[in-house]
Chain A
């Protein structure tokens, strides 16, 4: 602890000062959200006014309906949900199996394979963009869910994160299970998975949000509105309706709501995951 280290100012005054600094900073950090929501609820005539008005004269909820109807947002959301749920379940299964193999099984080439996987973390994703686009084109998957989902069904980060967790499970548990005749798969399902719930939640959360917020890959492999996830939909919406901030801000608000909802419910796991792994998704 760094606190109370012989500072001259009385602690109470100093604490008040710290709170003031933090409150001011938080207000600045949250200002864009205020602008987003306030603009999304302003009637047309109050958006382009000078001086800026902090509050709308009445709440123009119709902006939301108007924005929603100007683009197939329902479809965008559905696509994002399908992609994020499939990716998350896929990553959990493949990472659990592979992480288990790395943590608790002996096999030829384990160390080499582990190093190769680790090495791919150093390669920026843009390197794979062109070859993967070519692969997807050759498979005839352009503008399909396959293209959006299949390349992301496994994650090196997921494998490592679960492997670290699995490695801490006591060997005695495994020995006991083996004596009872349990196979590796049974031990994984009955013992390892229930014991590793927090790790699974963290991986699920980071994968889900990563998938929901992904932009580059869906941008290049989709070419019709029916296949677009919400982030790509927002891009076309913002170029089409750029002159209507109240509609843009309404769309921005409903695009961010699911993410913030997930975050607020599970923020403990989320912050722990970031603090432990520090991974940018």
Chain B
């Protein structure tokens, strides 16, 4: 008979055998790169140059004075804040409408969801055509029917980013609705009954029951939307190439340009780390706010 220690050891060993495939892949391609990206960000690493000197935080210092990167930072923040601020109230409104048990609700939900399953690349191509700046564009035709002259849309430095934001909202709305709808359905009917007995009207029910009890879900949607928005890439890649005048250049687009068009690996890694920090700060800040503002169901 094997001793107890041997058996324990074998049990642990077996568990590690189960973990091994995932550990190897995640270790090599997900964990190690997090550390390695930081190391690379401290080097001057150009793909053709065999010498990769250690330059400390030089890449990061350079970022702070790189106007193009600062513009990308500003563009991305603008995109993230505006798209999330518009998408969440809109999604909440639709979720509340869809939460009524009427005929055909699941059909509407599916329809809203289709853009989310659609590859963003495909969606971007179609919207690019929709935004055609000539009179042939569908959008220009539609605004023409109410007397507005054709707009340049993606060709205009001022309109390009709002145009991308509209596509982002279109693409993400279905996901937000589905998550918020699940949150709404988790709220116990007792709260509404109790509030109604106290004479609350529908606005008061929304303001004092729905909104606070839904806040953990809304908060969750807010966090994942912000994190996703800061990583926007496919939309400017397909629709504007980062233009006009770099007005739709985003952080990830800039990482792509630096790393894989100019092959400045160290500089690209530093930009990626800045993105990581921003996302970390958003998550932590929102956690702080949540601790004070979010109400959890009892």
Contact = CB atoms under 8 A, between A and B. Distances in A.
A95 to B, nearest CB: 7
Do most interface residues of chain A lie in helix, strand or loop, or is the interface mixed?
Answer: helix
Nearest to B142: A52
B113 interface: yes
A47 B206 CA distance: 47
A123 B18 contact: no
A107 B112 contact: no
Interface centre among B36, B144, B205, by most chain A C-beta atoms within 10 angstroms, is: B36
Nearest to B182: A275
A131 B269 contact: yes
B122 A234 contact: yes
B273 A252 contact: no
B101 A105 contact: no
A201 interface: no
Interface string A264-281: 000100110011101110
A277 to B, nearest CB: 9
Contacts of B126: 32-33, 35-36, 249, 252
Nearest to B135: A50
A215 interface: yes
A133 B29 CA distance: 10
A126 B231 contact: yes
Interface in B93-114: 94, 96-102, 104, 108-114
Interface string B265-287: 10011001101100110010000
A278 B18 contact: no
18 contacts: A1-B100, A32-B127, A36-B126, A36-B129, A50-B141, A51-B141, A97-B18, A98-B19, A122-B279, A124-B272, A130-B37, A131-B36, A131-B37, A132-B33, A235-B121, A256-B119, A274-B178, A275-B178
Interface of B: 11-12, 14-16, 18-19, 21-26, 28-34, 36-37, 40, 94, 96-102, 104, 108-123, 125-130, 132, 134-136, 138, 141, 144, 170, 173, 175, 178-179, 181-182, 184, 189, 192, 196, 200-202, 205-206, 210, 220-221, 224, 227-228, 230-231, 233-234, 237-238, 252, 255-256, 259-260, 265, 268-269, 272-273, 275-276, 279-280, 283
Given A1-B101, A234-B122, 10 more contacts: A52-B138, A94-B25, A106-B11, A107-B11, A107-B16, A134-B40, A154-B22, A215-B237, A238-B128, A251-B125
Those 6 A-B pairs whose CB atoms lie nearest each other, nearest first: A107-B15, A131-B33, A275-B182, A154-B25, A98-B22, A151-B29
Interface of A: 1-3, 5-7, 15, 18-19, 21-22, 25-26, 29-33, 35-36, 39, 47-52, 93-95, 97-98, 100-101, 105-108, 110, 113, 116-117, 120, 122-135, 150-154, 156, 159, 184, 209, 212-213, 215-216, 219-220, 231, 234-235, 238, 245, 248-249, 251-252, 255-256, 259-260, 263, 267, 270-271, 274-276, 278-280
